[in-house]
Structure 1
Amino acid sequence: MQTITLNLPDTLNLDANEVAMLVATRLYEQGKVSLGQAAEICGLSKRTFIELLGRYGVSVFNYPASDLASDVANA
């Protein structure tokens, strides 16, 4: 796994865990990492990560609407 160092303003009052969660949720939301990879970035289990996704406004169902429409049509 790659390590990145960020310099953040002290006024943000963010700890390393919260920054990891912010990055992981955004990467998951964009489809750049899987649910398991996002959980691993945060050092969490998949279940715990899923439970925390809602706090960051991210749905666990990371599925494009266009794919859903075609799946319904095929059902």
Structure 2
Amino acid sequence: MQARQFQALNAHQQLRGLLLNGACIGERIQQNKHILLFQLRATFVEVYFTSKGDRILSSRKFRSPVGLKPYL
């Protein structure tokens, strides 16, 4: 799945696409949010969950490795 195709999907379809086509490569906790990092080809996607992990709050897409700094 290309980044352009991913961006055209709604939030539910994006999450499904991440789970089926992406690789979860990191996780962290920040300000009571659980954050999972996925790699989808050359694009990275952070998915922000509630502290309980029961609801998605938001997501952030980026391509630059600079965005990986919090995981190192």
Task: Give me the TM-score of the superposition, normalised by structure 1.
Answer: 0.30
If each structure's strand is expressed as a fraction of its own residues, which one has the higher value? 2
Q: Radius of gyration: which is bigger? A: 1
If each structure's helix is expressed as a fraction of its own residues, which one has the higher value? 1
Task: Give me the TM-score of the superposition, normalised by structure 2.
Answer: 0.31
